[in-house]
A and B are shown apart, each in its own frame.
Chain A
Amino acid sequence: AQSVTQPDIHITVSEGASLELRCNYSYGATPYLFWYVQSPGQGLQLLLKYFSGDTLVQGIKGFEAEFKRSQSSFNLRKPSVHWSDAAEYFCAVGPVDSNYQLIWGAGTKLIIKP
């Protein structure tokens, strides 16, 4: 069955430290992969996406993610986090049907220590 797993419910990092958020998926073909961010009280915003080609993709706000087919992973990274990065991060995979639907992970809450 198709699924997305974000193993970490919460992650706490110090401001200025590097970050890696994990995402693993189960999918029968080459997936489309996405990371979205949800700031408190806000809707979700697309950070980056992977469809094909270079497996290291760059996104907004200094984020990047790497698609590793052998590990069925699409981990999100940032070399130096800022307090404003505190938010909920969602990984998603598609397509699951012809209507462009995605399967969503349960999210990882990023907490920034001053």
Chain B
Amino acid sequence: DTAVSQTPKYLVTQMGNDKSIKCEQNLGHDTMYWYKQDSKKFLKIMFSYNNKELIINETVPNRFSPKSPDKAHLNLHINSLELGDSAVYFCASSQGSGTANYGYTFGSGTRLTVV
């Protein structure tokens, strides 16, 4: 199936740990994103990555770092996890020129719980 897939679906970890979330898309899209959805369902862009150009939301702590080994993958690494990092993290991708880039395809999310 063509899709954006994320692993793991659930992640429970202790404060201070380092963890990674993986994302892969087989849609041939050029741009990938990481979003954070907090407990109030508010969606916030964290990163976008296009042709090796990384756009960082300046409000994202530098404990969060995206890593893209190739165009089809954009992993999210988080250092020194804090309680406030608990959220659902969505990977997404888009393709095309101009307005077609707004047709995001989202993964099903990773629910991160920091205890």
Instruction: Give the interface residue-count category, chain A.
Output: 20 to 34
Proximity string of chain B (72-115) to chain A, C-beta cutoff 8 Å, 1 when within and 0 when not: 00000000000000000010101000010111111111000000
Per the bound structure, the CA–CA distance linking A87 and B107 in Å amounts to: 16
Binding site secondary structure of chain B:
strand
- Decide: B108 and A43 in contact? CB cutoff 8 A: yes
Which B residues lie within 8 Å of A32 (CB)? 99, 102
Q: Could you name 23 residue pairs across A and B whose Cβ atoms are closer than 8 Å?
A: A32-B99, A34-B102, A36-B104, A41-B108, A42-B108, A43-B4, A43-B92, A43-B106, A44-B90, A44-B92, A46-B104, A88-B41, A99-B50, A100-B48, A100-B101, A101-B45, A102-B45, A104-B43, A106-B41, A106-B42, A107-B41, A107-B42, A107-B43
